[in-house]
Amino acid sequence: MRSLDQFATEKLATLEACSQRRVLAETASGAGARVRRGGRELISFSSNDYLALSRQPAVVEAAIAALREHGLGAGASRLVTGNHPLYAALEARLARWKGTQSAIVFGSGYLANLGIVPALAGAGDLILADELSHACLLSAARLSGAEFVRFAHNNIAAVERELKTRRARAHHALILTDGVFSMDGDLAPLPEFASLACEHDAWLMVDDAHGLGTVGGGRGSAFAFGAAVDVPLQMGTLSKAAGAYGGYLCASAPVVALLHNRARSFVYSTGLPPAIVAGATAALDFIAENPAYTGRPLAHARTFTRALDLPLAQSPIVPLILGSEAVALGASAILEAAGFLVTAIRPPTVPEGTARLRFAFSAAHEESDVLALAEIIRTRILQNAR
């Protein structure tokens, strides 16, 4: 154990030296966008609870009722214990909302991607993935055993070139991308990717973790371009705008049936707690019934970008790239002292040299809070950076 502790200590020192060490900060959530940290109340611009549904009364009551009726845990894998009716209701709700035949729910978004991709692609197949896709998509591609190529961010020409070069020798091809990119907030060019997928008989899979409930009238990035884009594999999470937990894939009935059999993170994982499933279903109902409300996070993000003369926000996520880890940490500290929680995002989460503040806007924010935040950034951070 001494050598193990020495190994860990040396690794931590290396991280500390380059301002990349992470430390958990005790933070209690409060009403709206408020949190408590270090004995102070802060306004958080770091949470992915975009619609504040984790505390929405109907969502909470649905979870409480299910907890009282069904208990805390699921007990085992759904293939072992049987498929609780609450799961069927949630998956049917997801499929209707996304316009697919069927859906499958996983324990988390990370588990979903680790299960889906290797079940659909393997040796002799080709996977093309946007270089800025979420880490779990990239990990899943590596695990699959398929030929794996990362293409330049949102580069349509690069995808076309790789398909023309490599597709003919692959049994099957899979194109992977985020719908809304979690660290940059921009949208993938899904209409163009869908067209290329159709032309080259490739399967387009979109990780829409940050699109559900925030773009496309709340239906996600496949619905953010006017007419719905043909995305046969619509993956996402229930842990962000839905305010709950879990991952999902909306797809055709045959694909979902295959994943029931081949997705290892589904087959060998305990099912989500019934209360989480019931709460997530209620959250989806709320999203569908309140389209104007789902537009609030993006509206706040655009107020913010206009106030700072930044590129107009495409989603509730706005990055302010500052370069070095130390500068990003310093800017985060300035904002915390002023009453705002905005976490500094550093490598390896983002590429070297692009440490940043990542602002996540919520329906719970007030416009006055957004403008006050923008003013502090303009006067205390951007002026110093110049």
Q: pLDDT per residue over 155-183, tens digit each?
A: 999 999 999 999 999 999 999 999 999 99
Picking from 238, 233, 249, the residue whose alpha carbon sits closest to that of residue 273 is 238
CATH label, 23-50+316-385, candidates 2.130.10.30, 2.102.10.10, 3.90.1150.10, 2.60.120.260: 3.90.1150.10
Q: Scanning the structure block, which residue is given the tokens 């806007």?
A: 361
Residue-level pLDDT at 1:
64
Pairwise CA distance, residues 116 & 124, whole Å:
17
- Domain layout of the chain by residue ranges: 23-50+316-385, 55-289
Residue-level pLDDT at 32:
75
pTM of the model: 0.93
55-289 fold: Aspartate Aminotransferase; domain 2 (3.40.640)
Residue-level pLDDT at 82:
81
Q: pLDDT per residue over 294-331, tens digit each?
A: 999 999 999 999 999 999 999 999 999 999 999 999 99
Distances (CA, A) of 53 to 14, 33, 48, 106, 309: 39, 11, 11, 20, 30
Residue-level pLDDT at 51:
97
Average pLDDT over all residues of the chain:
95
Q: Is the pLDDT of residue 384 over 90?
A: no
Pairwise CA distance, residues 33 & 42, whole Å:
8
Q: With beta carbons less than 8 A apart as the criterion, state whether 361 and 350 touch.
A: no
Distances (CA, A) of 54 to 221, 233, 291, 373: 22, 26, 18, 24
Q: pLDDT per residue over 15-33, tens digit each?
A: 998 888 888 788 778 777 8
Residue-level pLDDT at 22:
85
Between 124 and 24, the higher pLDDT residue: 124
